Amino acid sequence: MSLAAFADDSPQAQRYNKIHRRLGIADAMLGIAMLIVLLVTGWTKKLAHFSLVVVANDHYLIGLFVYVLFLLLAGKILSFGLDYYAFRLENEYHLSNQKLGSWVWDQFKGFLVGLVLASILAELLYALILFFPQGWWLIAWASFLALAVFFAQIAPVALFPIFYKFRPLEDDALRERLTSLGKRAGTNVRGVYEWQLSEKSNKANAALTGLGNTRRIILADTLLKNYSQDEIEAVLAHELGHHVHKHIFKSIVVQAVITFIGFWAVKMVLRWAVLDQGWFTRDYDFANLPLIVLLATMMSLLLTPVMNAYSRFNERQADRYAWEAIPSTAPFVTAMNKLAEQNLSERTPARWVEVLFHSHPPISKRISAAEQWAREKN
C-alpha cells in the first residue's frame, strides 16, 4: 500500500475542517430556528399582512414578493455574523485572498440572485395553489423539475459570470487535448475556459458545466498554474466520467422521485395546517411559506446521508473512468494529493464525518483505489 494513501491530516487541516463543519451546522440550525420562531409566534402572519398592506392589499403576487424579500432579509441579517466568520476563516487559512469589499459585493450579488430565484419559485408555487387548488402539487413538481434543468443549462452563461470572470483558454495544445478527451467520452464540448478563481480564492478546481449548447469545460487558473497537463487531464477525465455514466440524468431521476414525494408531503402538511389545526385560513396564504421551507429543510437533512452515499458511489464510478481514460494513474494520484493540500481537504476523516458531510470519497480512499486498480491492471 502507498504511504500517501494513508497520510495523516495535518493539524491545520483538521482544525479548519472541524470549524468549517461547525459553521455549517450552526448556519443550518439558525435557519431552522428562525422558521420555527416565525411559525410559533405568529410573526409570519403579521409579516404576510404587512406585505399585503404595502401593496394596498390588492396585489397578491406582488405582496408575496415583498414577503419573500423580508424573509430573505431577516435570514441574511441573522446569518451575516456566521458568513463573515467563514470569510475570515478562509483568509486565516490562506484559502482565500479576497478583500472585504469584494466579499461584501459578492454577498450583495448573491442576495439579489437568491431573491430573484426564490421569488420565481414562490410566485410559481402560490400561483399554482391559487389557480389549481386540487392538482397544484403535481403541476408544481413538473414545473420545478423543468426549472432545475433550465437553470443548469443557463448557469455557465448567466449565473457563474455574475461572480467570476471567464475567458477562453489560451493554451492551444491543452485545449485540443481536453477537447479530444471530451470527444472520446462522447460529449460535444462547446469550449474550454479559464476560470479566474485566483482573484478570490487560492483553491483549485475544474468542472464540466452546462447542458447542450452551454456545455463547456472550466479550469481554475490556480489549477493551470500549479498542475501539469497530465494532472489536469486526469482531473477532467474524472469530470467526464460523470457524463459517461449519465450521472446528471440519473440525478435528475432521483431528484424527480424525491421532489414528487416532497410536493405530496407539502400538500398533506398544508391540508393538516389549514383544515385540522386552523393555523392558516387557506392553502394559498403565503404566511405558510416558512412551514413549507421547514418541511423541505427537514427532509433534506434526513436524506443527506443517503444522498451523500449515492454521490460517493457516482464519484467512484467517475474515478474508475478516469483511470481507464488516461495512460497512467500516476497523474491522478499526484493531482489528488495536490488538491488535498491546496484545498486543505481531509484525507482521512472519521467514518461519521464521511457519512454525514462528504459527497466525495476521502482522498486517501480515492488514491488507494487508484493504486489497487493500477496493480490489478498490470
Residue 187 to residue 214: CA distance in whole angstroms: 12
Question: Where are the domain boundaries for CATH 3.30.2010.10 in the chain?
Answer: 166-242
pLDDT for the residue numbered 7:
58
CA angle, 11 then 13 then 14, to 5°: 60
Q: Grid coordinates 442576495 are at which residue?
A: 111
- For residues 6 and 286, give the distance between their C-alpha atoms in angstroms, rounded to a whole number: 52
Answer yes or no: CATH 3.30.2010.10 is held by domain 166-242.
Answer: yes
| DSSP of 26-85 | HHHHHHHHHHHHHHHHSHHHHHHHHHHHHTTTS-HHHHHHHHHHHHHHHHHHHHHHHHHH
28 in Cβ contact with 301 (< 8 Å): yes
Count of Cβ atoms closer than 10 Å to residue 104 Cβ:
12
Q: Does residue 3 carry a pLDDT above 50?
A: no
Output the pLDDT for position 4: 44
Phi, psi of 76 (to 5 degrees): -70, -40
Tell me what pLDDT residue 121 has.
96
pLDDT digits (tens, 9 = 90+) for 236-295: 999 999 999 999 899 999 999 999 999 999 999 999 999 778 899 888 999 999 999 999
Interval 324-377: pLDDT, tens: 999 999 999 999 999 999 999 999 999 999 999 999 999 999 999 999 999 998
pLDDT of residue 57 exceeding 90 = no
